[in-house]
Amino acid sequence: MNGQRLLRLTLIALVWAFAATAAPPNIVWIIADDMSPDTGAYGLRDVKTPHLDRLAAEGRRYTRAYATAPVCSSSRSAFILGTSQIITGLHAHDVENPQPLPAPYRHLPALLRDAGWFVTNAAAPGTMRSGRVITKAKTHYNFAHDPAQMFDGNDWRKRQPGQPFFAQFQITEPHRPFPIPDSYNAAALAARKLPANYPDHPLMRRDWYAYQRSVETVDQRVGVILAQLAEAGVLDNTLVFFFADHGRPMPWGKQWLTVEGLHVPLLVRGPGIAAGSVESRLVSLIDLAPTALVHAALPAPHWMDGRALLGATFPERPQIFAARDRCGDAYDRIRAVITPDHMLVQNFFPDVSRLNWSGYKEASYPGMPLLRVLHSAGKLDTLQDLWCQPTRAALELYDLRRDPAGLHNVATAPAHATIVATLRRSLDEWIRATDDRGALPDPATEPTKAEIQKSKRADYQRTWQARLKKPEPTDAERLSWWEKSYGLVP
């Protein structure tokens, strides 16, 4: 038996001995895939989310929680380490050839397991894909890892008596593809108010309707998890966190440093959390790892730049940061700083359109061909048409007090010149202080840009070959396919 294993077993024994006189401090993370704060507790009337609303009523609702990246693997790499992905070099989404974590970084499951915790990762009970139950949980990180070594299993109930546990439940919804409803509630479709930056088109309405029904599926899965914890008698002695890895999968959301792409729900219920409390100060998802460590009476490593939310004092800060880099075959570099009142975005490639080709989006978002077709027909208003412009502003500023959705860029307004200069200095200082890895060339271990784009294009072509028998259909042909899929045309 090696020394490290002996040390771990000794620590576990000490934890069990402690458990005989004190309740174990359990932690549960319930993580939705691609979801904005679209629940009843956050004011949305178009969805039924009783279980999530219960978490908010019995715990704390955070109104200003943000991901550090608007895409899953980059965001997940950051919050499992408690530090920004641009610091660790895990900024590119879907790393083709992931490497082991370099020293000194260690992920949260390893830190907790070393301290005697039972650590699990599971697909939410009842998760289905293509008609089959999924038991394998998402572990989409941009570093090399063996899930069998990273976790003790997928069922927290298999721990030793009295052993504290950290359980993650991964919910695949509302990631695309959305299950397309068999029927639509005509009144609900008519009542749905689309955000101003989306065209009011029947297909767009049905796509949002399908998204919201997928959010309701998230809620149902949360209900099953809460029931499992209650049945085992541990719910009231467990801190339950519900959050999403980034914002909703819509054209202006996922993959973009927008409010829609970064703003996420965060609900926490458990010992010491006042029922019905609301926290409106800034929170970053990288705060979750140090929060877990503090709750476990463990020190947060010096390299974690997240801050514990449930410690003695709330980590008030004037700003938080986010970054977007390569997403699959869509190359880009964007950085953002968010304050209580403003959001500044810097586009390092302003000559690239927001319609920057993404094979994933072009295969799975009906809004992509729809926007192009409506743009060509002159049927988009000025705000909606921004998406289709060949270039974008190098700097964007959003006054979140007057424009909480972050839709109207006021960076060039003279009244905002001082705040633009101040926030740009903050962003420049953050980039320098972090040695922003996104400014460096891709590592030699990665395929070239041309190789990645060729591979992703082939995936896209296979998708449309199967759907339309054409590997490169026009926007109009793809739009027609989506309209048929959503039951708009025979």
Q: Are strands 320-324 and 334-338 parallel, antiparallel or unpaired?
A: antiparallel
Exposure letters 167-185 (e unless 16+ CB within 10 A, then b): bbbbbbbbbbebeeeeebe
Residue 9 is predicted with a pLDDT of 44
CA dist., res. 81 & res. 86, Å (int):
12
Mean pLDDT of 196-225: 97
Question: Looking at residue 14, what is its pLDDT?
Answer: 45
Q: How far apart are CA 449 and CA 227, in angstroms?
A: 47
What average pLDDT does range 237-261 have in this prediction?
98
Tokens encoding 306: 């997240």
Mean pLDDT of 186-211: 93
- Which pLDDT value is given to residue 130? 65
Domain boundaries, the chain: 3-485
Q: Looking at 245-309, which runs of residues are DSSP E strands?
A: 263-269, 277-279, 283-284
Structure tokens at 393: 């502003």
> Domain 3-485 in CATH: superfamily?
Alkaline Phosphatase, subunit A (3.40.720.10)
Give the span between the Cα atoms of 353 and 183, in whole angstroms: 36
Mean pLDDT of 172-178: 96
Give the whole-angstrom CA distance, residue 422 versus residue 411.
Answer: 12
Rounded Cα gap, residues 102 and 435, in angstroms: 15
Model-level pTM? Answer: 0.94
Longest dimension (CA), the chain: 72
Q: Is 82 helix (H, G, I), strand (E, B) or coil?
A: coil
| Whole-number Å distance between alpha carbons of 390 and 125 | 45
Q: What is the per-residue pLDDT for 153?
A: 96
Give the Cβ contact number of residue 130 at 10 Å.
Answer: 5
CA 236 to chain centre: 27
Strand, helix or coil for residue 338: strand
In this structure, the chain runs to a length of: 490
Q: Read off the pLDDT of residues 44-66 as tens digits, 9 standing for 90 and up.
A: 998 999 999 999 999 999 999 99
- The three-class DSSP label of residue 463 is helix
Over residues 425-479, the pLDDT tens digits come to 999 999 999 999 999 998 989 999 999 999 999 999 999 999 999 999 999 999 9
What pLDDT was estimated at residue 393? 97
Q: Which two tokens stand for residue 392?
A: 């974008």
Question: Residue 23 pLDDT more than 60?
Answer: no
The radius of gyration of the chain's CA atoms, rounded to the nearest angstrom, is: 23
Q: What is the mean pLDDT of the chain?
A: 93
The confidence band for 24, taking pLDDT boundaries of 50, 70 and 90, is: low
8 pLDDT exceeds 80?
no
Is the dihedral angle over the CA atoms 463, 466, 467, 470 positive or is it negative? positive
Query: Average pLDDT, stretch 70-91?
Result: 98
Instruction: Report the SS3 class of residue 98.
Output: coil
Question: How confident is residue 350, by pLDDT bands cut at 50, 70 and 90?
Answer: very high
Q: Of all residues in the chain, what percent carry a pLDDT higher than 70?
A: 94
Q: Distance between CA atoms of 336 and 363, rounded to whole angstroms? A: 28
At 16, the pLDDT band (50, 70, 90 cuts) reads very low
Query: pLDDT-based confidence at 15, cuts 50/70/90?
Result: very low
pLDDT band of 187, cuts 50, 70, 90? confident
Contact assessment for residue 218 and residue 32, using Cβ atoms and an 8 Å cutoff: yes
Structure tokens at 140: 């989409």
